[in-house]
A and B are shown apart, each in its own frame.
Chain A
Amino acid sequence: MLCAAILQLLLPISERGHKLSLVVKDLSVDHGAIRAISEVSFTVETGKLSAVIGANGAGKSTLLRTLSGLNKATEGSAHWGDHNLLHGKPESHVRSGVSHVSEGKSVVAELTVEENLDLGALWRRNKKEATESKKQVLELFPRLDERLNQRADTLSGGERQMLAIGRALMSKPNLLLLDEPSLGLAPLVIEQIFQTIRGIVDTMSVTVVLVEQNAMGALKIADSAVVLNLGRVAATGNASDLIADPAVRAAYLGY
């Protein structure tokens, strides 16, 4: 980590890893006649964890679904490095290093744990690298290793979330979009999942956009954050600044 940081400093400023940042500009998305998100702009630096928080219906999931190609944007732009996220289907985005774990434990219930993991790497030509990824994922989530041949719907909620994240990692992403991984999980399990996500950012140099209703939990592990309210950006900045911000505290953290 330190070596990488020093190397970064030696590079000319224009090449300092900014190439791969996520830049969303004036993004608007309509659901029929309803504007789900409106003129949303924010930037996430490479290797950072950004939380997107806000109440139910604030447009958080729509934002992620648009970035991964599941929803169509009405206006604006979104780039991951040189890659235009508003063009092409999700299956092409995956090939460019963008993986999306959709809301509600996105695993295929009828498949086994191992099949769910393999699914994430089907498109990869280099099978040796895919095997390496699987080893890495199973080291990250030893619980999955014990349950490889079990059907995914026999797993607990927390294990399913691990499997969903594991499946996304099998595609070797450099941008990981996570939609409410804490949904419906016990507090202790949430804590564990959040720590794992932080670990993925720190050790695998993956950039993460984490959509959460659990605002406090997300802000604690995030580097930066975007607060959405009724489809618009209400606040953005460092996670620690936002935690300290009285307005954000009152509206989203509940104290």
Chain B
Amino acid sequence: MIQILNTTLIGLTSGAIYSLMAMSIVLVWRSTRVINFAQAGLALASTYIGYEAVQLFDNYWIALICAMLAGAAISAFIEITFMRILLKHTSSGPIAGVAPIIATLGLLGIIKALITMNWGGQDVVITPPLSNTGFSIGSDTLVFSPMKLAIIVSVALLVIIFSLIFQKTNIGLALRASAYAPEIARLAGVRVDLVRTLGWALSGASGAVAGLLLTSYGTGAFSPESAEFSLLFISGFIAAVVGGLDSLVGAVIGGIFLGLVTAFVLMYISSSLFFIAPFVILLLVLFIRPQGIIGVKAGRRA
């Protein structure tokens, strides 16, 4: 019984982090129809900026906000200076679909190289602000700790803030309209280019929080070569696809789903399936419901 509870809580925590990364991927996909591999590097860069902020302010939560702002700024910068021009020049022709993806892979390489140049390849540590010693229930100790609880609460807060922005504000209406029907949005007077940049900024913020929380999920140590960060993007991508790639709600559900399934597979089948389980889920979803669990089928508009 305690084991099921443990596994569920672990699944929820990692799932929460995947959700943020999935949201980050979905936000970029919705605004520019690009899968941006550089987001793995962006999350890492933002986490390093979070590390610097911890040195400066000696406060994890202020650092988290700094990382968020930095992630938003870098992401918006990339959209304006790089992606907008790239998409304009590759909007037609045989490479139209592939060029942006290859370009984001190149960008990922550049970002990682810059990080290594600036911070070196060795591990740095952001000490988690809360204990990672599990809660106790009677004589049993859970794997679930105050830090993991804080991770879930932070993600929940961010998701609530994002959904309020999207559902209740004018900016959210502009973001949604530009994502679903950019031409109609422009004809209605929405400055779609500006809205697109904003979508990227929100994506950068979400990815930054995912990165920083990811370090606190473990010991707090990370480096440019951390396997966790490469996996973060892949897990986020899988979660986004599971959720239909177009939906923020789907991204959150997809992330939690992926986290739970992975946790249970590791616990009850074999921990050597850590790298395989997410891909099996991806393949199953693509075979059975390629539009995602809650996605809408393409061709919804005549």
Contact = CB atoms under 8 A, between A and B. Distances in A.
A9 interface: no
Interface in B274-302: 300-302
20 contacts: A90-B187, A91-B189, A91-B192, A94-B188, A102-B184, A104-B302, A108-B184, A109-B180, A110-B176, A111-B173, A115-B173, A119-B177, A120-B188, A122-B188, A122-B189, A122-B190, A123-B191, A168-B188, A170-B188, A171-B189
A127 to B, nearest CB: 10
B248 to A, nearest CB: 13
Given A70-B183, A102-B184, A153-B300, A108 B189 contact: no
Contacts of A115: 173, 176-177
A111 to B, nearest CB: 6
B185 interface: yes
A109 B300 contact: yes
Given A104-B302, A108-B185, A119 B190 contact: yes
A171 to B, nearest CB: 6
Given A108-B180, A109-B300, A110-B180, A94 B173 contact: no
B186 interface: yes
Top 3 nearest A-B pairs by Cβ distance?
A94-B189, A123-B189, A90-B186
A110 B181 CA distance: 9
B189 to A, nearest CB: 4
Interface size class of B (residues with CB under 8 A): 20 to 34
Contacts of B214: none
Contacts of B181: 106, 108-109
A119 B188 CA distance: 6
A107 interface: yes
A135 interface: no
A68 interface: yes
Nearest to A115: B173
A118 B173 contact: yes
Interface of A: 68, 70, 89-91, 94-95, 99-102, 104, 106-111, 115, 118-120, 122-123, 153, 167-168, 170-171
A95 B90 CA distance: 30
Contacts of A101: 187
B189 A120 contact: yes
Contacts of A170: 188
Nearest to A119: B188
Which of B170, B181, B192 is most buried by chain A, counting CB atoms within 10 A of its CB?
B181
A70 to B, nearest CB: 7
Contacts of B190: 91, 119, 122-123
A107 B300 CA distance: 13
A122 to B, nearest CB: 5
B173 A122 contact: yes
B69 interface: no
A119 B300 CA distance: 20
A48 to B, nearest CB: 22
B188 A89 contact: no
B174 interface: yes
Contact of B187 (A99, A110, A111, A153): A99
A4 B190 CA distance: 34
A37 B217 CA distance: 62
Interface string B134-177: 00000000000000000000000000000000000010011011
B182 to A, nearest CB: 10
B183 to A, nearest CB: 7
Contacts of B302: 104
A122 B185 CA distance: 10
Given A91-B192, A109-B300, A153-B300, A119 B180 contact: no
Which of A102, A119, A168 is most buried by chain B, counting CB atoms within 10 A of its CB?
A119
